[in-house]
Structure 1
Amino acid sequence: MDEKQLQDYVKQVSLQYFKRPFVHQAYFNRRLKTTGGRYRLADHNLEFNPKMGDLPEFLGIVKHELVHYHLHLNHQGYRHGDSDFKELLTRVKGSRYAPDIGLRQCRPKVLTYCCEQGHLIKRQRRINTNRYVCGRCGQPLQLITVKK
């Protein structure tokens, strides 16, 4: 699905399920990783995750973002916790959550440092070994392994 097809699809879903036109822009945002879509309050545009565009749950994601869109433009409760949002989302049978496509399951890297006494220190962030020393014995640290 390309940008033009996405725009037409969102317009069609808006008319079919909400009986209101979608007059702003809908486009794919490749920076979205774990969310299905996003409604932008500043310009009323909709952004969608391109990896979820081919999933069967994509219609529910579009409905979810259109619920935000139409409620915000009608000055009603458009946030997830608002009763207006929950009511309209269940009425149009939109999805509450985006499906998990496996992008959340990345393991953090582990850096292992060792001092001269043999004390091991495991970290997720790199530290400056010229500035920091072992907290147990005060000896200088040395980077040993980086595991992903």
Structure 2
Amino acid sequence: MDDRELQNWVERVSLDRFGIPFRHRAIFNARLRSTGGRYFTKTHHIEISPHQLAAYGPEETEKIIKHELCHYHLHLQGRGYKHRDPEFKALLKQVGAARYCKALPGARRTLPVKYLLICRSCGQTYPRKRKTDPRKYACGRCRGKLRLVEAEPRPG
């Protein structure tokens, strides 16, 4: 499938499920791996991951298209288009869009924990992948001061 076919597909889904035409550009972006699609608020264009189509087929990809169209139509209407907005969540459910896309098979796993922030007062631990300045944060449980230590490497 190429960008022209995707454009037609998005326009068709927009008319069928939302009753409103899609008047901007929809393209595939092969760099999208951790997300199924993107909506751009400045240009109103939509990008879809071709890897999702290859891995899960047209049914899952159409759910991603509906998700991005929810952002698109709500944003253009001046309504709540962000993931946390109740209007967005309600429209997702109404049109049968995916809330999240499926992880790609063979996707990179998360990085190992290298650091721990430990509360000096209550001992609460916060695992971190990146080095963090403990002076900028406080314990979420007791508001105590934190200290940074390097995590023990796991055997294996």
Is the CA contact 2:33–2:104 (under 8 Å) kept in the aligned structure 1? no
**CA shift at 1:107, angstroms?**
6.6
Once residues 86 and 103 of structure 1 are traced to their aligned partners in structure 2, the CA distance between those partners, rounded to angstroms, is: 29
Stretches of structure 1 that go unaligned for 5 or more consecutive residues are: 110-123, 126-148
Structure 1 pair 65–103 and aligned structure 2 pair: CA distance change class (3 A): farther
In the aligned structure 2, how far is the partner of 1:51 from the partner of 1:74? 30
SS where residue 108 of structure 2 aligns? coil
Relative distance call for 1:73 and 1:107 in structure 2 (3 A) is closer
Q: 1:105, CA displacement in angstroms?
A: 3.4
Of the three residues 83, 102, 107, the one matched with 2:105 is 102
Amino acid aligned to 1:72: H
Aligned equivalents of 1:107 and 1:83: distance in 2?
A: 30
* Post-superposition offset of 1:3: 0.5
1:1-148 aligned at under 5 Å gives the runs 1-54=1-54, 55=57, 56-106=59-109
Structure in which a larger fraction of residues adopt helix: 2
- Letter of the aligned partner of 2:44 in structure 1? H
Between the aligned residues of both structures, percent identity stands at 44
Unpaired segments of 5 or more residues in structure 2?
A: 113-128, 131-156
CA distance in 1, matches of 2:65, 2:27: 11
- How much does 1:104 deviate? 3.5
CA RMSD of aligned residues (A): 1.9
Q: TM-score, normalised by structure 1?
A: 0.70
SS in 1 for 2:17: helix
TM-fit CA distance, 1:103: 4.6
